[in-house]
Structure 1
Amino acid sequence: MVDESNGSVRSPRRKAWPWVIAVAAVLVVVAVIVYFALTSGASGGGKPASSPSASASASAPVDGADPSAQPTPDPSATPGTMPELAPVAPDEPAESDDGLVAEITAMKAVEGEAVQAGEIAGPSVQFTLKLTNDTDSPVDLGLIAVNAYIGEGRTPAIGLVKPGAAPFEGTLKAGGTAEGVYVYNIPQNQRGDVTLTLDYRAGEPAFVFRGDVG
C-alpha cells in the first residue's frame, strides 16, 4: 500500500486474534482430556470391588451342615471328660449298668519296643483285659478304646504294639468272654498311680481301673 501523503510504501496490518482463539481452543480440549483421564482413573481404583467368592464362602455351610445345629451334651458327662464308672482297683472286676463285666487278669512288666511312629521304647506294662458279656445283646469289640494314664493329673501313657499287644476285635456274643492285650510305656518309678480306662460304646460310661500296677 502507498501512503498518498508522503509516497512511502506501508505494509498491511495483520490481525492476530484468530490465532489466539485457536490456541485457546486447543488448551481447552487438552484440559478436558486430562480431566476425564484423571477422574476415570480415580473411580476405577478408588473403591475395590467386592469379592463374590469371599462372601459366598462366609455364608455357605460346609459339607451341607446345618449352621444352627448344636451337639447335644451328654448329661452324665462332666465338663471336658467322657462319662466314667466309679474306679476300681486293678485286681477287682468292674461291671456296667447293662451287665458287661471287665477285669484285668494279668499285668506284666516288659521292655517295650518302638516299631511305629510316635512309640517310645523302654520299660512298659503289658495288661491283659477280659470282658464277659452278661447282657442279652452282642457287643461290637471293634468299638473298644483302651487308654492308660499316669498320676493324679492323668498324663497319657504311650501305647505300644510290641511286645504282644492284641487289641479286642470281632463281636462278643451274649454270654461269651473275650480277651485283649495292651502295652503301655510306663516308667518303673511311676507305676504306683496308674489309671486304665476301657470305653466300649459311645454314650456309655467307661470302665476305670486305678491303682498300683508295678
Structure 2
Amino acid sequence: MSIIEVSGLRFSYGPVEVLHGIDLRVDEGEIVAVIGPNGAGKTTLLNVLGGAHRSRSGTIALRGEDVTRASQDSLVRRGLSLVPEGRQMFSSMTVDDNLLLGTYARRREVDADGLREMVFELFPRLRERRDQLAGTLSGGEQQMVAIGRALMSDPSILLLDEPSLGLAPQFVSLIMRTIRRLRDNGRTVVLVEQNAKAALRLADRAYLLELGTVHVTGPARELAQDPRVVAAYLGGGDNAVA
C-alpha cells in the first residue's frame, strides 16, 4: 500500500527550476533510497516532501490525503518527520533537551519518557551523554541525536537527508543498521544518500535523480546491477552495511 504518492512535482529557486515533474511512490514499511550526483535535487525533493519547501506545481499525497500545501508542523502531526542534512543541533543545549524538542509538535499526543527510552535503546551512547552539550559531541553522536530527535515525535515515516555524510566508517555502519532496524520495526524510510553503495544495499527500492528528473527507478538490487548506475556511482570506495 502506498503511503506517499508524488505526481508531477516541480520546484524552483526563484526563476531556476530544480525539480522537473518528479513522480515518486513510497510503500508502507519499505526503505526507498534517492541517489544521484551533487546538485541533482535530492535534498530539495526531501525538503518539499517534509514541508520545509513549497512546490511550484504537482501533488503530494500522504495516505491518500492531499498534503501538497501542508505545513511542516502539520506533517509532523500526521506522522512524518524530516532529519535534515547537517544535523542542525542546538549546540548550547544538552542532548536530553535536544531530544525533547522533537516532541514539540505532538507534545499532547506522545509519551516523551517512553520515546526517549526507545531512543536510548537504539543509541546507548546517548544515554551516557544525555547531560552533555550537543555541540561537544562527535559528528556521529550528533547524527544519533538528530535521528533520535525525529523519533521523539513517534513518526511512522522518516525522511533522512545524507545521514552518513562526513561520518567515520564505524558510525556509517551503525547508522545504516539503525535505519534497517527502524524499518524492521514498522517505520517507513525515505533515504537521500550520497553513499550509493550503502543506500542500495539497505533499500527496498530506489530512484536515481539527475538534474532534477528521475532517470532510473526500480528495486534497489536491480539498480545496483544497472550498468549506468554502476559506472557513474558504484565505482568508488565502499562503506559496508553489516
TM-score scaled by structure 2? 0.22
More helix by share: 2
Q: TM-score, normalised by structure 1?
A: 0.24
Structure showing greater relative contact order (alpha-carbon pairs closer than 8 Å, 6 or more residues apart): 2
